[in-house]
């Protein structure tokens, strides 16, 4: 076993969540030679889509997930098949056992989940946080990273977009002042600018989520950003490592804890 090569399992609620929150980090990990496995709780069948896509939306979104994973170089994709927007109703240990089985088989070194709030509070996202934490305990996965956003940055961005929405159509902009994670609690700010092309390809793969509904979609807005602005908005990804005390500077390497451990401790 190469002590400098790790296995990362990234756990998400719906297809396209991996693209929005972690695509750059996953692409960077694969480019650096690590094994990356993507696990998604639902196929996203209850998501918004245009009328002609709605009938077979879960199948379409599963195919889009596969295309996103290919763009990022991901080695394995697993869809657990829970009902979209009802994953939160699944018994915690039942779902955690299934995820823990994958972690054991893969001998996962790192698991990504979501923060305690599930980002912006979607019940399926909150359940990802709970299930991920429990599965890591069951499997003995060494490092758990909560994929999130810098609350201060996103709150300032939302306030700016509210001003722009007076003249430019925008997605619905909820109150983000308590969403995601405060900067003081973050442990990682990962530079993914070198992998922006892969991240954009991952976003584009989720074509059904570009349209649908009667308001502009977040994914569509991101894909329309001019390249310099896209580098600024999409070029960093944030995490809170469970059990790691935030330091004076945010860590750029998601495997830092593992690299600091004595060889053979994995």
Report the pLDDT value the prediction gives residue 251, as an integer from 0 to 100.
Answer: 97
Structure tokens at 262: 């004595």
Within 10 Å of residue 140's Cβ, how many Cβ atoms?
Answer: 10
Report the pLDDT value the prediction gives residue 55, as an integer from 0 to 100.
Answer: 74
CA distances from 71 to 29, 89, 202, 210, 236 (A): 13, 32, 6, 18, 18
Report the pLDDT value the prediction gives residue 178, as an integer from 0 to 100.
Answer: 80
Interhelix angle for 196-205 vs 227-234, to 10°?
90
**Alpha carbon distance 171, 179 (integer Å):** 17
Q: Could you tell me the domains of the chain?
A: 7-260 (3.40.50.10320)
Up-side HSE of residue 213: CA atoms within 13 Å toward CB? 16
**DSSP helix, strand, coil percent of the chain (3-state; round to 5):** 45, 15, 35
For the chain (length 266 residues), average pLDDT per consecutive 10? 86 97 98 98 84 81 98 98 96 98 98 95 96 98 97 77 63 70 96 98 94 72 88 95 95 97 64
264: CB partners within 8 A, 6+ apart: 3
Asked if 53 contacts 212 with a C-beta cutoff of 8 angstroms, the reply is yes
Structure tokens at 255: 């495997």
Residues belonging to the chain = 266
**Alpha carbon distance 235, 196 (integer Å):** 7
Within 10 Å of residue 4's Cβ, how many Cβ atoms?
Answer: 12
Give me the sign of the Cα torsion angle 51, 56, 58, 61.
Answer: negative
């Amino acid at each position: 076993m190469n002590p400098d090569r790790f296995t990362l399992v990234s756990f998400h609620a719906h297809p396209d969540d991996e693209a929005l929150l972690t695509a750059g980090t996953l692409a960077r990990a694969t480019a650096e030679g690590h094994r990356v496995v993507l696990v998604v709780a639902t196929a996203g069948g209850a998501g918004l889509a245009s009328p002609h896509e709605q009938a077979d939306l879960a199948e379409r979104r599963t195919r889009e997930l596969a295309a996103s994973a290919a763009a990022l170089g991901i080695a394995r994709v697993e869809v657990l098949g829970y009902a979209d927007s009802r994953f939160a109703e699944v018994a915690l240990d039942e779902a955690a056992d299934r995820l823990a089985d994958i972690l054991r088989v893969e001998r996962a070194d790192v698991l990504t989940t979501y923060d305690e709030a599930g980002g912006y509070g979607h019940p399926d996202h909150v359940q990802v946080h709970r299930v991920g934490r429990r599965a890591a305990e069951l499997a003995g996965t060494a490092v758990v990273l909560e994929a999130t956003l810098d609350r201060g940055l996103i709150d300032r961005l939302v306030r700016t977009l509210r001003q722009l929405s007076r003249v430019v159509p925008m997605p619905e902009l909820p109150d983000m002042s308590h969403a995601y994670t405060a900067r003081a609690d973050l442990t990682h700010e990962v530079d993914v600018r070198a992998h922006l092309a892969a991240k954009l390809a991952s976003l584009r793969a989720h074509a059904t989520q570009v349209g649908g509904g009667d308001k502009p979609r977040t994914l569509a807005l991101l894909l329309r950003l001019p390249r310099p602005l896209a580098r600024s908005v999409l070029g960093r990804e944030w995490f809170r490592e469970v059990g790691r005390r935030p330091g004076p500077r945010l860590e750029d390497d998601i495997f830092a804890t593992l690299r600091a451990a004595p060889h053979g401790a994995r």
